[in-house]
Structure 1
Amino acid sequence: MKADDHARKYRRRSGNKGLRPYVLVAVFAVIGACLLYAWTPEPLPASAASAGSIDSGRKPIERTAALPPLNLPADDAPHGSGMEWWYYNGILDAKTGHRYAFHVVVFVANGLVKHTVMHAALTDLQTGQRYSSQTRTGGVPAKSAANGLDFRQDGWQVAAAGPSHAVHASLEGGASIALDLSDSHQPVPHRAAGSETPGLLDFGMSGISYYYSRPRISAQGEVSIGGKPVQVSGDVWFDHQWGDFDVLSLGWNWFALHLADGSDVMLYALFDTTGRQVMTAGTVSNARGSHPLKPDEIELVPVNRWTSPSTKISYPVDWRIRLPSGELSIKPFFADSEFDSQKTTANIYWEGPVRVTGSSTGEGFLELSGYDRLKIR
């Protein structure tokens, strides 16, 4: 899709995360089709699908009201829904002045078969060198944990119990991440502006999702590249999302931003496979609490694009954002941040650290998913 076409699709004010060889092509095509089918979630419960009527006071009843409310810390644990993921990203500082960016995510899909996928990427912000890894297995390789989770697979671990988390991942090229994290803040449940069901989002025909974040978890640990360990620390963003929603019918532009004034901003714009805008939402949180942004309070405008030399997919990696607090400019540290996960989740996405300038400064992460499935490019 041309940049000006894309800008027209996304330049709107509205309010309301994620997945070859050239021989044996036919065999891989069959495998890919099976993977896609396995990632298709189960239908919504009848109670949720039928909600949305009007009560005696003529007030619309939210479909999300038919589902159990968010319940933490119990909801930190796996749910057995159609799709679920636990996601971490952050920019880490070493005493030497070196900086590193990473993301680690665990997906559990419960469709035709149940399977677990782990993705991880680490970027040296001095050199731009990027290390990544991915793994997939049938079932759920998790140890029992009260009100939490403990995934262990191929030397990886992602564990959490309330505010305490641990993330360990081995990456290709001899790199690794080992972090212990602790959260002293209240979790942030996301909701649409005007919604009375915090922690639940209605995606319309694509389903309903539970969604909350821990935007600033304090992390301490170690990054190792080439067998040389470096002690690091920093603030890490954590997302947990689950439900019976269809990730194959949607793409998204997702922003997780740490601003210098201490506030945290989550924004996303959902689009379908034709590029049509489906939903835009956002949450601003700080020491005083959190609030969803209203329909006319978000404007997301793509500015520049980057085209992957390997996949030829074009991504809008440079953005202008207008919020009630002012205008922000979002630029990637490195445009080359594509994650090719065709062998584990049959998709390709862009995920990387970004700088924030404008009315406020800061840093964060940008995720661009679904551009490999766009029917119009």
Structure 2
Amino acid sequence: MKTDDKGKGYYGRYRRRGSSRRKGWRAYVPPLLAVVVVLAVGLYFVQMSDREPARAPSLASADAPGKPIERTAALPPLNLPADDAPHASGMEWWYYNGILDAKTGNRYAFHVAVFVANGLVKHTVMHVALTDLQTGRRFSGQSRTGGLPSKSTASGFDFRQDGWQVAADGSAHVVQAEFEGVSLALKLNDAGPVVAHKAADSATPGLLDFGKSGISYYYSRPRMAAQGEIQVAGRQIPVSGDVWFDHQWGDFDVLSFGWNWFALHLADGSDVMLYDLFDSDGHKVLTSGTVSTAAKGAVPLKAGEIELTPIGRWTSPDTKINYVVEWKVKLPSGTYDIKPFVENSEFDAHQTTANIYWEGPVKVTGSFEGQGFMELSGYDRLSTAPGRK
């Protein structure tokens, strides 16, 4: 809806009272539309929560007739680069995070995510945050729209929304956004192998079975080489660094569990992805992950090979949500302490996805040093933080 800054047209001071009433009514339209969109997405999640999530049919094992095998085997296998593109699943997201270095020695952390929910309406959301690691100052932005604002590509995606762009053609990606007076513009390329996550005893790479919550496709490009620039305080700053990329989709219920998620680059060259799912009461549901090395490739971790111990918590002064932001992690490769660069890395997404989560860069010390990102989701639906039970 357009307006006239000089007070003419429908909003002119020379209009009669009837026009003034129409002006007052129209002023409520944008927020009402926002509420409708958020409610539509919320209704989608409620529908997913109230029904049994989609399940793959059981198959009989050829080696042991009559014995059911994993549900993921009934689904089409991961197929890249075709699966880089959007799917018709209930939920899907493309996600980037990284710590960027400037030639001055300054460092900046960012994350960008595109979410697509297929419910009563198709709904696309973009989230972005940039943290100045020198000052601890954090900038964030979010955008939403109905439909799918992506150009059709043979082997990728091209989301363009409110002047932002998140695009990929094979292993070449572009991320651009302006928000809160800062900007981010990166070109990324991946020369390494894609990591297709799976359970340790699974024969279907790229697929994870969350039990009654559904099944998800999931792969990563752990170390995309990024070059570009950011703008902070009116200064253009060339930056570079390793960026983690995730793509996940499926008919799974995101309200039936929360998670602690870690994406870590270690000094020995290995890349570690860990996820720790918990239910609405804070009880552990599933812990798994993947360690990727040049020598062995992607090796899935068993639940017994991962020990996550909460060490320190932080309570948001804005939302009063209590997050576990410091962890001790024990893996077959060693023991690691994980701490945030900036404790206040909460992202309030009520405007777009009606939830709140913690997303920020972390430091790794212990058997090997390193850095990475941590995501804490679902804490806004809990009265007790995970790790207390």
Which aligned pairs between 1:1-377 and structure 2 lie closer than 5 A? Answer: 33-39=39-45, 48-51=55-58, 57=64, 60-172=68-180, 174-288=181-295, 289-376=297-384
Q: 2:316 & 2:238 partners in 1: Cα distance?
A: 32
Contact 2:115/2:126 (8 A) holds in 1: yes
SS of corresponding position for 2:255: helix
SS of corresponding position for 1:334: coil
Contact 1:315/1:368 (8 A) holds in 2: yes
Contact 2:41/2:123 (8 A) holds in 1: no
Residue type of the alignment partner of 1:197: T
SS of corresponding position for 2:42: helix
> Structure 1, residues 321-376: CA drift from partner, whole Å, max 9, x if none?
00001100000001000000011000000000000000010000000000001144
Q: Mark the runs of 5 or more structure 1 residues left unpaired by the alignment.
A: 1-24
Cα 1:332–1:37 change in 2 (3 A) is same
What is the Cα deviation at residue 287 of structure 1? 1.0
Aligned identity (percent) is 68
Q: 2:206 & 2:239 partners in 1: Cα distance?
A: 32
SS of corresponding position for 1:165: strand
Q: TM-score, normalised by structure 2?
A: 0.86
SS of corresponding position for 2:379: coil
Cα 1:44–1:275 change in 2 (3 A) is closer
What is the Cα deviation at residue 40 of structure 1? 5.2
SS of corresponding position for 1:296: helix
What is the Cα deviation at residue 294 of structure 1? 1.7
> Structure 1, residues 147-193: CA drift from partner, whole Å, max 9, x if none?
10000000100001111000001111x10100000000010000000
SS of corresponding position for 1:70: coil
SS of corresponding position for 1:309: coil
SS of corresponding position for 2:96: strand
Q: 2:224 & 2:33 partners in 1: Cα distance?
A: 43
SS of corresponding position for 2:203: coil
* Larger Rg, first or second structure (1 or 2): 2
Contact 1:186/1:214 (8 A) holds in 2: yes
Residue type of the alignment partner of 2:201: G
Q: Provide the residue aligned with 1:22 in structure 2.
A: none
Contact 2:38/2:352 (8 A) holds in 1: no
Q: 1:308 & 1:260 partners in 2: Cα distance?
A: 31
What is the Cα deviation at residue 295 of structure 1? 2.6
Q: 1:124 & 1:277 partners in 2: Cα distance?
A: 34
Q: Which has the higher contact order (CA 8 A, sep 6+)?
A: 1
Q: 1:76 & 1:129 partners in 2: Cα distance?
A: 33
SS of corresponding position for 1:278: strand
What is the Cα deviation at residue 34 of structure 1? 3.6
Residue type of the alignment partner of 1:314: N
Q: 1:45 & 1:126 partners in 2: Cα distance?
A: 45
What is the Cα deviation at residue 45 of structure 1? 8.8
What is the Cα deviation at residue 49 of structure 1? 3.7
What is the Cα deviation at residue 39 of structure 1? 3.8
Q: 1:81 & 1:34 partners in 2: Cα distance?
A: 16
Contact 2:53/2:212 (8 A) holds in 1: no
Q: TM-score, normalised by structure 1?
A: 0.89
Contact 1:40/1:246 (8 A) holds in 2: no
Residue type of the alignment partner of 1:245: F
Q: 2:240 & 2:231 partners in 1: Cα distance?
A: 13
